[in-house]
Amino acid sequence: MKNFPFISTSQSLFLFRITLPLFFVAHAVTRIGNGTIERFAGFLSKKGFFATTAMVWGITVYEIIGGIALALGYYTKYLSLGFILMLIMGNIIIHYQNGWWVGEHGEGGMEYSCALILGLIVIASTAKDNSK
């Protein structure tokens, strides 16, 4: 059955499973491309974390490799859980202090991260994992 004018529910879930993880890949590649890894590391250092450059590189690599693997359907539940935990920590450390709204009504709030978390829950709960 075609729910939307031209694709079925299973096709839309497939499209969602491929595109949502690519947001993480794009986010990480942008961080590398615009040279903000050290700025992010400095921010985390001010929050009391240590080995922050290594931490940011770890997050960046996870977003790239994990995002590609998730888009391909590998280790879906585990990678989704990792991304969800990362987003929760990001909300606690970075976004909570800025409130709910991301754009028009505020700066850097939790809204977008919470939407991603819900999307990851959908991906994890509907996936047929390729991992064996």
pLDDT 10s digits, 100-130: 666 655 567 788 899 999 999 999 998 776 5
Give the integer Cα–Cα distance in Å for 85 and 5.
Answer: 35
> Quick one: average pLDDT of 53-59?
97
pLDDT of residue 28: 96
pLDDT 10s digits, 2-39: 556 688 888 889 999 999 999 999 999 999 999 999 99
The answer to whether residue 1 sits within a structural domain is: no
The answer to whether residue 74 sits within a structural domain is: yes
The answer to whether residue 93 sits within a structural domain is: yes
The answer to whether residue 4 sits within a structural domain is: no
pLDDT 10s digits, 70-81: 999 999 999 999
Print the domain residue range for 50: 9-126
**Number of structural domains the chain divides into:** 1
The answer to whether residue 2 sits within a structural domain is: no
